A and B are shown apart, each in its own frame.
Chain A
Amino acid sequence: MNCNLEQSEEIAEIIISGSMSIEDAANLRNVLASAIAGSCRIEIDLTAADTTDISCLQVICSAHRAAVQLGKQLTLRGTEESLIKCLEDAGFPRHTGCQQQNGIACLWQERQRN
């Protein structure tokens, strides 16, 4: 996995490419933590990401909660077919919101193929 962080006070853009696996989970957590700490809006660009495993999905999920708790915004961009397939296989997409966020805004909400 390649993970590039471009950050300003306003926005942090994390561009991920390749396959996301357990080896990348710790690195991903650190990148996301610093992005959340330094910017108001965090955008994860997954356009070039191929696949992901559960460990990286957990990290993104946790990062989203952390951002929301701090009143910041974390969004996903460009979830491609193969990535959506991974999300579906993992059972992540859902219709309801996140309990930790009082039922609103789950990162995985409605992220499935029609």
Chain B
Amino acid sequence: MDMAQVHREAFREEAHELLTELESALLELEENPVDANLIGCAFRAMHTIKGSGAMFGFYEVAELTHEVETVFDQVRNGSTSVTKDLIDKTLKAGDLIRCLLSSNGAVDESERQQLISTFRQMAAPPEDKPVHVGSDNPAGALRESEEDEKLYRIRFRPSPDIFLTGTDPLLLLKELRDLGKCRIIAHLCDIPSLDSMDPERCYTYWDIILSTAKGINAIKDVFIFVEEDSEIHITIIDDSGNSIDKPIYKKLGEILVERGDLTTEDMEQVLQKKKLFGEILVESGLADPSKVEAALVEQQQIREAQQKRQMSAAAASIRVPSEKLDTLVNLVGELVTVQARLSQTAGLRNDTHLLQIAEEVERLTSELRDSTLNIRMMPIGSTFSKFKRLVRDLSQQLEKEVEMVTEGAGTELDKTVIERLNDPLVHIIRNSIDHGIESPETRQAAGKPRQGTVHLTAEHSGDSVILTIRDDGAGLDKNAIRAKAIEKKLILESAELSDRELFALIFAPGFSTAKKITGVSGRGVGMDVVKQSIEALRGTIDITSQKGEGTTITIKLPLTLAIIESLMVKIGDEYFVMPLSLVEECVELTSNDIERAHGRNLANVRGSMIPYIPLRQRFLLGDKDPAIQHVVVTEVAGERIGLLVDSVIGEHQTVIKSLGRMYRDVQGLSGATILGDGSVALILDVPQLVQWG
């Protein structure tokens, strides 16, 4: 790949991230159309995509984003308000840009042109607008209470009589200083000679370079009582919304010409000479030194502001390809294994020095492991924002009123887990909206609010993350599920099932109680795939539902897929590990206990009978049971079930290695790990073992 292609690829990646940010800002704007931060965020996303797009040859993208950006600039300035129509169109533009950025880049050109002209109409001055954009969200003028930091040039020439009105210009200058970083240059060139001066008149005027996020209105407010008699010019000379990729510093001459302190002709004449421009100007008397100095201050301040932004942007993040992170995690995994060997060897040799070193290495490895895994952690919020869009589009399509409420967007999960979580969650949310949430009329008739709600929450629970998708819809119909399960011969007519067992039937392949198949769901493909996907992530899924009140789906996922805390057990000469998150407790089981159960695999744990799976028999590991065995009690899908093993070794840091292609379909095992002595321990797939029975 040549460098140009590398840059284009990097831009694509960045643009996709920006589009996600844009989308989430737009959806939030729908609820809060005057939020200056959100408007700024949407504007900046478009601005960056436009700038970088044009730079890397995505001219169609740049052309479209330019029009959208123009409208959002007006929104920023308060001359246009945010409406549902604007949000709809911008979301559409975002989708189109995504298509343009995709590798084939095939889009309907007429659609692109239509969007461009729509945005042009929106941006046109009111008299040119053929149709009023709409007032479904009359946001009104946007107050620039807090916005992005901008650099302003202020020329303040007070009335000569300002002292007589009791106003001290010094106080006004102090007020300006309070607004942000400020450089003030007083121009003293108009001060007359001592004998002709009126000491009670003001001859001084100022150039002020102010960097502030308070907005132009805050600056104007400072001069509110003197503006009528004074000469006040406020100009934005640098905007943080500007691309920082290529800082632009205006030259001294350009600043002076722009300020009206120098003519273009004079500048060009001076440029013929080979000296410092400012020096020549002062020497030749073309500009007052204070004016040159003020221009230099402005130049310096812009440079500082741009450098600061560049540095903070550079320091905020470093873009690293995820493959590099995967390699790092793999290496750390190897290191954890080697460290385990070192600790084991040191323990066997009983060498104090070696033990000390081993402990130190163990501590460092543990820190390194945590830090490395942390790098891969991403907040789940980026996925949440996609679902907001999904809910919005689906509810429109199905003519339902659905709101999505999310909580815990900051909850972090391994990047791979988040990526693989997308499809299962889409299935679940689609089902919730299609089958769960009723039509507004039905809801109203049932005494519910017209608008249904889908709650999506994420929270940490030990070394797992619990995701909950809860809707306040119709809930699952137990009778319908039961009838369908009997029809599909999944259960006997006489079967007595708990609610949990009954609901678990919807995870069976091809199971659907939907009376009609819609474009959204109802084909019975999905929930079985959802379950498989979650289990592939070493997670569990559980359903609870109350007819008429709604359904809750709970997904429990490990924080990471690379290294897990596990419990190591031994059967015969073989070691096995299982995720510690699934383990509830371990109890002893003697041969007498087994005899008392009369051949049934049931363990009496403090009075409650818990079924167990004898793994020695399951894995055909010899037939001689030790006198005392151990039942590792786990909880899967809300049921407690034990796994019978010879002995429990203890906790273990398990670096997960996938099984080779040959063993991929082996039931009950999900991977392997290398132990300190170099031997291999298999990782038990507990949910599968339980399902297998």
Interface residues of A (CB under 8 A from B): 22, 25-26, 28-29, 32-33, 36, 53-55, 57-59, 61-63, 65-66, 69, 86, 88-92, 94-100, 103, 106, 108
Look across to chain B and name the residue whose beta carbon is closest to the beta carbon of A94: B293
Contact B290 A96 (CB under 8 A): yes
Look across to chain A and name the residue whose beta carbon is closest to the beta carbon of B189: A99
Given contacts A61-B191, A96-B289, A98-B289, contact A90 B184 (CB under 8 A): yes
Compute how far the CA of A43 lies from the CA of B173 in the bound complex, rounded to whole angstroms. 29
Contact of B204 among A32, A54, A66, A95 (CB under 8 A): A54
On chain B, the residues within 8 Å of A22 by CB distance are 163, 199-200
CB of B559 to closest CB in A, whole Å: 52
Compute how far the CA of A29 lies from the CA of B91 in the bound complex, rounded to whole angstroms. 68
On chain B, the residues within 8 Å of A69 by CB distance are 193
Contact of A90 among B170, B282, B288 (CB under 8 A): B170
Compute how far the CA of A94 lies from the CA of B188 in the bound complex, rounded to whole angstroms. 11
Contact A55 B202 (CB under 8 A): yes
CB of A105 to closest CB in B, whole Å: 12
CB of A23 to closest CB in B, whole Å: 9
The 6 closest A-B CB pairs, nearest first, are A91-B184, A25-B199, A96-B289, A91-B186, A66-B194, A62-B194
Contact of B194 among A29, A54, A103 (CB under 8 A): A29
Residue B285 interfacial (CB < 8 Å): yes
Look across to chain A and name the residue whose beta carbon is closest to the beta carbon of B206: A91
On chain B, the residues within 8 Å of A88 by CB distance are 184
Compute how far the CA of A103 lies from the CA of B189 in the bound complex, rounded to whole angstroms. 12
Interface residues of B (CB under 8 A from A): 163, 168-170, 173-174, 177, 183-186, 188-189, 191-195, 197, 199-200, 202-204, 206, 208, 282-283, 285, 288-290, 292-293
Compute how far the CA of A109 lies from the CA of B72 in the bound complex, rounded to whole angstroms. 46
CB of A20 to closest CB in B, whole Å: 11
Compute how far the CA of A32 lies from the CA of B98 in the bound complex, rounded to whole angstroms. 74
Contact A58 B289 (CB under 8 A): no
Contact of A59 among B186, B199, B289, B293 (CB under 8 A): B199
On chain A, the residues within 8 Å of B189 by CB distance are 99-100
Contact A32 B282 (CB under 8 A): no
Q: Show 20 A/B contacts (Cβ-Cβ < 8 Å), sorted by A.
A: A29-B199, A33-B194, A53-B170, A54-B163, A54-B170, A58-B203, A58-B204, A59-B194, A61-B191, A62-B191, A62-B192, A66-B195, A89-B177, A90-B170, A90-B184, A90-B204, A95-B293, A96-B282, A99-B288, A99-B290
Contact A29 B293 (CB under 8 A): no
Compute how far the CA of A68 lies from the CA of B449 in the bound complex, rounded to whole angstroms. 85
Compute how far the CA of A98 lies from the CA of B290 in the bound complex, rounded to whole angstroms. 8
Compute how far the CA of A54 lies from the CA of B206 in the bound complex, rounded to whole angstroms. 12
CB of B208 to closest CB in A, whole Å: 8
Identify whether the interface residues of A are mostly helix, strand, loop, or mixed: helix
On chain B, the residues within 8 Å of A97 by CB distance are 289
Compute how far the CA of A22 lies from the CA of B285 in the bound complex, rounded to whole angstroms. 32
On chain B, the residues within 8 Å of A61 by CB distance are 188, 191
On chain B, the residues within 8 Å of A63 by CB distance are 194
Contact A89 B199 (CB under 8 A): no
Compute how far the CA of A63 lies from the CA of B204 in the bound complex, rounded to whole angstroms. 15
CB of B456 to closest CB in A, whole Å: 54
CB of A86 to closest CB in B, whole Å: 7
Contact B292 A96 (CB under 8 A): yes
On chain B, the residues within 8 Å of A66 by CB distance are 193-195
Look across to chain B and name the residue whose beta carbon is closest to the beta carbon of A24: B199
Look across to chain B and name the residue whose beta carbon is closest to the beta carbon of A56: B199
On chain A, the residues within 8 Å of B163 by CB distance are 22, 54-55
Contact of B191 among A25, A32, A58, A94 (CB under 8 A): A58
Contact of B282 among A58, A59, A103 (CB under 8 A): A103
Q: Which of B174, B194, B197, B199 has the most CB of A within 10 A?
A: B194
Look across to chain A and name the residue whose beta carbon is closest to the beta carbon of B177: A89
A90-B173, A92-B188 known, 14 other contacts, Cβ within 8 Å: A22-B200, A58-B197, A62-B193, A63-B194, A65-B194, A66-B194, A89-B170, A90-B184, A94-B185, A94-B289, A94-B290, A98-B188, A100-B189, A108-B188
Compute how far the CA of A22 lies from the CA of B189 in the bound complex, rounded to whole angstroms. 20
Compute how far the CA of A95 lies from the CA of B410 in the bound complex, rounded to whole angstroms. 50
Given contacts A54-B204, A55-B200, A90-B184, contact A33 B195 (CB under 8 A): yes
Q: Which of B170, B184, B282 has the most CB of A within 10 A?
A: B170
On chain A, the residues within 8 Å of B185 by CB distance are 91, 94
On chain B, the residues within 8 Å of A53 by CB distance are 168, 170
On chain A, the residues within 8 Å of B173 by CB distance are 89-91
On chain A, the residues within 8 Å of B288 by CB distance are 99
